[in-house]
Structure 1
Amino acid sequence: MTVTLMWEAAAADGCGPRLLDWAREQDLSPMPRRLEFLIAPGDRVLVISWWEQPYDAELPELPDPPGELVRRQVHRWRFVSVSVES
């Protein structure tokens, strides 16, 4: 089973690049099968990780960033892959 963890944070004004750097520096040992970092307008940072684990497995997740880097609480979601189409 492939479990996907999504972590999304909205950076404080002018802190988008610092928030992205902070997220990329975090240790997710053991490493997931795939790890992707994305950005969006409004200085939002999204991190998606894919794991070959059961849905309820205990997995390493990104922590909350330092308060001065974000303008609101971090959002987290967990999904299970049902198909891959191209």
Structure 2
Amino acid sequence: MSVALMWEARAEAGRGPELLDWARAQALEPPPVRRETFRAPQDRVLVITWWDAPYEAEVPELPAPPPELVSRPPHRWRFEPAD
């Protein structure tokens, strides 16, 4: 079984590079099987982590970033393979 966690946040205007650096610096213990970090217009940052665990498993998640970096709380979703 595997589960993917998706974390997405929108930075305060012009602070996207800082939020991206912050997200990259967040260590998860234990580390995920796979981790990818993306950026998008409007200073958005997306992190997807994959875990070798059932859907309901407790796995490490990225914390909330410092409030001064974001324009709203991060969104979080959990997914499982459909195949």
TM-score w.r.t. length of structure 1? 0.93
- The unaligned stretches of length 5 or more in structure 1 are none
Q: C-alpha displacement at 1:51, in angstroms?
A: 0.5
The residue that corresponds to 2:26 in the other structure is 26
How many Å separate the matches in 2 of 1:41 and 1:14?
11
The residue that corresponds to 2:51 in the other structure is 51
TM-score w.r.t. length of structure 2? 0.97
Aligned residues: CA RMSD: 0.6
How many Å separate the matches in 2 of 1:23 and 1:81?
25
The residue that corresponds to 1:81 in the other structure is 81
Q: C-alpha displacement at 1:14, in angstroms?
A: 0.9
Q: Which stretches of structure 1, 4 residues or more, deviate above 4 A after TM superposition?
A: none
Summarize the alignment of residues 65-76 of structure 1 with structure 2, pairs less than 5 Å apart: 65-76=65-76
Q: C-alpha displacement at 1:36, in angstroms?
A: 0.1
The residue that corresponds to 1:36 in the other structure is 36
What amino acid is aligned across from residue 20 of structure 1 in structure 2? L
- The unaligned stretches of length 5 or more in structure 2 are none
